[in-house]
Structure 1
Amino acid sequence: MSTSTTSGDAPQKSSLNALAGLLPFLRPYRRQFILAGIALLVAASATLAIPAAFRQMIDMGFGSNSDHQIQHVDLTFLALFGVATVLGIATAARFYMVSWLGERVTADIRSAVYSHVVTQSPEFFETTQTGEVLSRLTTDTTLIQAVVGTSISMALRNVLLFIGGLVMLFITSPRLASIIIVTLAATVLPIVFFGRKVRRLSRDSQDRIADASAVAGEILNAMPTVQAFTHEQIETQRFSSSVESAFSTAMQRIRARSLLTMIAILLIFGAIVFVLWLGAHAVMKGSMSGGQLGQFILYASIVAGAIGALSEVMGEAQRAAGATERLLELMAATSSIASPANPLPLPARTANGAALALSDVVFHYPSRPNMASIGHMTLNIAPGETVAIVGSSGAGKTTLFQLLLRFYDPQQGQITLDGVELRQLDLHVLRNAIGIVPQDTVIFSANAMENIRYGRADATDEEVIAAAKMAAAHEFIERLPEAYQSFLGERGVRLSGGQRQRIAIARALLKNPPLLLLDEATSALDAESERLVQVALEAAMQGRTTLIIAHRLATVLRADRIIVMEHGHIVETGTHASLVEQGGIYAKLASLQFNTQTEG
């Protein structure tokens, strides 16, 4: 569901509806909103009191130089200072509370989106780029932070000033206020029209930024390959094109918003200048005092400033509405793989490991619905049995492991673990019962101790070291600068391929599962390391069921049973000796590999 390609089809909801999706994140902080609201009311009231004080000062303070008038001026300025003090305190309190709310709500949104994304099945990541998710977690949430932490407060403040200013305008001069209302109403339609255009362009802009982030993430994660093929310039141009596309879309948004701001200012201040011209004539005719006109000018300025600020806030709200829609789309994504409402427990673990059974299983990937990766597979594996799975690339071996881990569900048939259908098990219970050493080893940006402890978070240091020794990893870890506390670099760049694989094997052994899946577990090892790990794996296979995927047949000679797969089907099964005698696919593979090794 790559939303970068669906923005044009997205329903164009109003900003208010889109931002309403933030309410669940705002509700826990009602008290802070109330406190911010009180500070907001006090600050707005203080602002609206200032023009009235100016009217008193002009009409009564400048008429003569009597002691009474001088005293009145002194009191007026003292009152003004008091109002300014209240305004300053209330404004600071409002700023603190709304800034706190912006940071808090943004942190909650980021956590909620991330915790939701990590529960999605691999099907989600087949169609959604990692860079796009990261863009939503950073850029989109930053826009929302600006709205929650600043724009909402500014909007409420200016709404209060607008309403209060209008009321005071009517109190000061109903005739001039009526004229100004009619002229201001004429400015609403163009502002609304351009506001919708800004919102659409804002969403497009965010989508283009997400595209650029996705390109950058893909390139940076494959930097050795990029440099090996001398594609630095090509990839730089590809990223630059993506950035330029984002810039072009952003400039369309900026132009539309600039035009919106210009139109709003011209119309609003044009209306105010016209009305003030009428007011100046009224003063000259004596139908209005100078203080009244001064008060009217100040209230008109407050109303005009409020409208101008609201148009600015509306622009921010339009951008945040687009960002909110994108985040809510991400939150609305539901995983097709989930734990059942009432999961069944696994039977107590036996000394031999887990029993595994596949019954007429058919599976095809969602992205390739017309190509079956597993076709009508039936297989029974007894507890404690070691089964090797061989076959050419694309035969369905790794897909089988993904089905066992329930990264996907088969479209037909069922898979049982110790007699319980996988769909009836809690996902954590199922996956805690399985240890896997994947073909592409994942090493996290942490030290060696924590990388191995990833297999079981509550393991002690002694248990971690014991698992490392079983996986023939202890010696090379001890030779690292800080031994088990050595930082292994991003994606384990400070280790060789064989060392990374032994870390992964240690991680799986630390988990101590009843079912062990080895996907080319020794493929990156040199001959000496492979011998050490093979001995360790044979010891680790005791008391558990083991499935081994291997292209190198030397690693599966001691398996209890060898299964040969081709195009998602089991085509041969037996021991090494019986399969060689059959003279089929396995015999040809064995002949090629062992003859080559002999010649070497």
Structure 2
Amino acid sequence: MVLRAQRPMSSLIRMLGTYRWSLVVVALIFVVKDSSLWLLPVITSKVIDAVVAGGPVSTIAVLGLIGGLLLVQVYPLHVLFTRVYMGVVRNLAAGLRNALTARLQSLSIGYHGRTSASVIQSKVVRDVENIELMFSQIGNPLGSAIVVFTGAVVTTAITVPQFLPVFALAIPCGIAVWWILRRRSQLRNEVFRRQMEHFSRRVGEMATLMPITRAHGLEDVAIDRVALSAEGVRRDGLSLDMVNGHFGALSWVVMQLLALGCLIGAGVLSVLHWVPITVGQVVLLSTYFTTLTGTVLTVLSFMPVVSRGRESVKSLAEVLEEPDLEQNAGKREVDDVLGSFELHDVVVNYGDNSPNALDGVTLSVQPGETVAFVGSSGSGKSTLINMLLGFVRPTSGRVLLDGQDMQDLDLRTARRRVSVVPQESVLFEGSIRENVAYGLSHVGDDDIRDALREANAWELVTSLPDGWDTVVGERGARLSGGQRQRISIARAIIRDPRVLVLDEATSALDAQSEQAVQEALERLMRGRTTLVVAHRLSTVMHADRIVVLERGRIVEVGTHEQLVQAGGRYAKLWDLQFR
């Protein structure tokens, strides 16, 4: 599913081509359903002429019956129209949301690191909803306008062809009004959309920082930050409303002047006998033009909705056209992982004239080996781990997984044999059982129970009233840090990974929780390649090797004892923490 920010509406219309046969059915429904809008004025004019002529009554009765049938058929056909047309709209919206989700899963970790989760949520929810709203609101009026215009023009051409030029004025006048204000409308919609994204970001920050805000008594600061952004939404929203107000008022005045002109013109021509028009035809022409201008006015009134929808399409295109992808498509899939890594003169640079995050790193990790990475903040530990996971691609150099260049591999398939236990465990709002078995359909109760026991979490589960069916809350808010971490470890254990990444896995825990988690981690690490990132050196003392990083370079490699005896950078860090 492709949207283009430069041509948002045309790309959206191309997407509708997927549902062309449903839209053909919709068009056929409209031809019949809205025939009453242009046939009833014909019936009205003939009834008036029959009355003026003095009958017969049978003619009036037949015309009444035909009019009644035209009205009654609207109900079932409108229900059918709603079913078919809104089915297309809902399918389109679902397709957009699915396409966005798939694209977001393909974008790099770097993209997600610099893009607010609240903004992404706004695009998936609000912007797609705007597109749904646009199609749902304009579908029926636009279809009616086309049917009425066609029927009115054909009937007028047959009965009073002299008035065709007058009818032809309605469309260009409507287009002229739209053209005059379209640039201002598009600009205001874009500014308002950006302001709403900024507001969503502020609200997301407020929710995330709530514990910090409360802990430091900064409620007023948080309120002021959100209020400042809300003021921007109010200001830009009002500016957009004013543009839409000008558009609506100008459209109404122009259309009503045209309708009045048509009525007066038809009356004058009939009285002066310049054109052979009956009283009924005067009513017919006036009704047609009033209906036509009213329909055009209705369509024009939805132009602000269309402008908002157009801006939402551009917003979605920003994601769907984002080039910062994690390139996996078409690459070789990985059936199994042994757990060996080789880095050859690897350089990573994030651009923007920044220094290299990794600078000439060469390292080999053997299957089943536990390697710890330590160093000061900004030394390159996280970049190195992210590169081994394939989240970051080297600017130069090579990274091999089991002897294969990772540039040639579909790393999504490799990561199925990798588990990550981060510093802050991420749980979703579901049960403990659902969190442990996340993404796995083949695991049974015994597997989940064994994983929880291995993670030192079974006692926690049995102490809860609902056991493993206990809902943990958003991001696991109903559990303590140590409890969340043990659930996270159980989730890693049940996957039986070949590579384990521990990213500060115990640094945020109290002593008692750390002991329980550390015991679980030691069981999890057995026989697996384990990559450990740590600031607390006590957690990496028993690693097979410790790699010390500074400014993106490896400055020392060895066991704990070797590095302490060497008296280098590691020894200084050790002294700072324990002496």
Given candidates 301, 305, 324, the residue that maps to 2:313 is 324
The answer (yes or no) to whether the contact 1:518–1:548 under 8 Å persists in 2 is: yes
Residue pairs, 1:18-417, within 5 angstroms: 18-23=8-13, 25-64=15-54, 69-179=56-166, 181-182=168-169, 185-186=172-173, 188-286=175-273, 287-339=276-328, 341-343=330-332, 345=334, 353-366=338-351, 369-417=353-401
User: How far is the alpha carbon of 1:43 from its aligned partner?
Assistant: 2.2
Q: 2:438 aligns with which of 448, 454, 464?
A: 454
Deviation at 1:575, TM superposition (A): 1.6
Q: What is the percentage of aligned positions where both structures have the same residue?
A: 29
Local SS of the residue matching 1:547: strand
Determine if contact 2:141/2:295 at 8 Å carries over to the other structure.
Answer: no
Q: Distance in 2 between matches of 1:31 and 1:233?
A: 57
**2:578 is the counterpart of 1:594:** yes
Q: Which amino acid letter does the alignment assign opposite residue 425 of structure 1?
A: L
Matching residue's letter, 2:279:
G
Name the aligned partner's letter for residue 156 of structure 2: L
- For 1:4, the equivalent position in structure 2 comes to none
Correspondent of 2:501 among 517, 534, 559: 517
Aligned counterparts of 1:455 and 1:512: Cα–Cα separation in 2: 14
Gaps of 5+ in 2: none
* 8 A contact 2:138–2:299 mirrored in 1: no
Per the TM alignment, residue 128 of structure 1 is displaced from its structure 2 partner at its CA by: 2.2
1:443-479 CA distance string (max 9 Å, x none): 2111111212237453222222212222222212221
Deviation digits for residues 412-450 of structure 1 (CA, Å, limit 9, x no counterpart): 111111111112221222212322111222121111112
| Paired residues of 1:520 and 1:550 also in contact (CA < 8 A) | yes
SS at match of 2:277: coil
C-alpha spacing 1:365/1:510, structure 2 compared with 1 (3 Å): farther
CA-to-aligned-CA distance 1:162-196 (integer Å, 9 cap, x gap) = 23223333434333443454587455423321133
Residues 105-158 of structure 1: CA distance to partner in whole angstroms, max 9, x if unpaired?
112211211221122111212332222221111221112112322313421320
Q: Check 1:222–1:24 CA distance in 2 against 1; reply closer, same or farther (3 A cut).
A: farther
TM-score of the pair, normalised by structure 2 = 0.93
Tell me which amino acid in the other structure corresponds to 1:264. Answer: S
Give the match's secondary structure for 2:557.
strand
Deviation at 1:54, TM superposition (A): 1.0
Contact 2:8 2:313 in 1 (8 A): yes
Alpha-carbon distance in 1 for matches of 2:304, 2:280: 36
SS in 1 for 2:543: coil
Query: What is the CA–CA distance in structure 1 between the aligned matches of 2:123 and 2:205, rounded to whole Å?
Result: 16
Q: Secondary structure at the residue paired with 2:294? A: helix
Instruction: Report if the CA contact (8 A) 1:343-1:426 is conserved.
Output: yes
CA RMSD of aligned residues (A): 2.3
Which residue number corresponds to residue 569 of structure 1? 553
Task: Give, in whole Å, the separation in 2 of the partners of 1:404 and 1:456.
Answer: 24
Q: Does structure 1 residue 499 correspond to structure 2 residue 499?
A: no
Question: Between Structure 1 and Structure 2, how many residues are aligned?
Answer: 574
- Secondary structure (helix, strand or coil) at the match of 1:283 reads helix
Larger CA deviation: 209-218 vs 189-198: 189-198
- Give the 3 Å change call, closer, same or farther, for CA 582–185 of structure 1 in structure 2: closer
How far is the alpha carbon of 1:340 from its aligned partner?
Answer: 5.1
Displacement of 1:378:
0.8
Q: Which of these residues, 429, 432, 456, is aligned with residue 472 of structure 1?
A: 456
Structure 1: distance between partners of 2:188 and 2:513: 57
Q: Unmatched 5+ residue regions in structure 1?
A: 1-9, 596-600
The corresponding residue for 1:5 is none
Alpha-carbon distance between aligned partners in 1 of 2:440 and 2:353, rounded to the nearest angstrom? 36
1:164–1:531 distance in 2 versus 1, CA, 3 Å: same
C-alpha distance after superposition, 1:506-541 (max 9, x if no partner)? 222222212211112222333344334333333332
- Checking the alignment, whether the CA contact within 8 Å between 1:343 and 1:425 is kept in structure 2 is yes
Please, which moves more after superposition, 151-160 or 69-78? 151-160
Instruction: State the alpha-carbon separation in 2 of the partners of residues 98 and 247 from structure 1.
Output: 34
| Contact map agreement 1:455 1:510 (CA 8 A) in 2 | no
Contact 1:184 1:268 in 2 (8 A): no
Deviations along 1:478-505, one digit per CA (max 9) or x if unpaired, are: 2122121111111111111122222222
TM-score (norm 1): 0.90
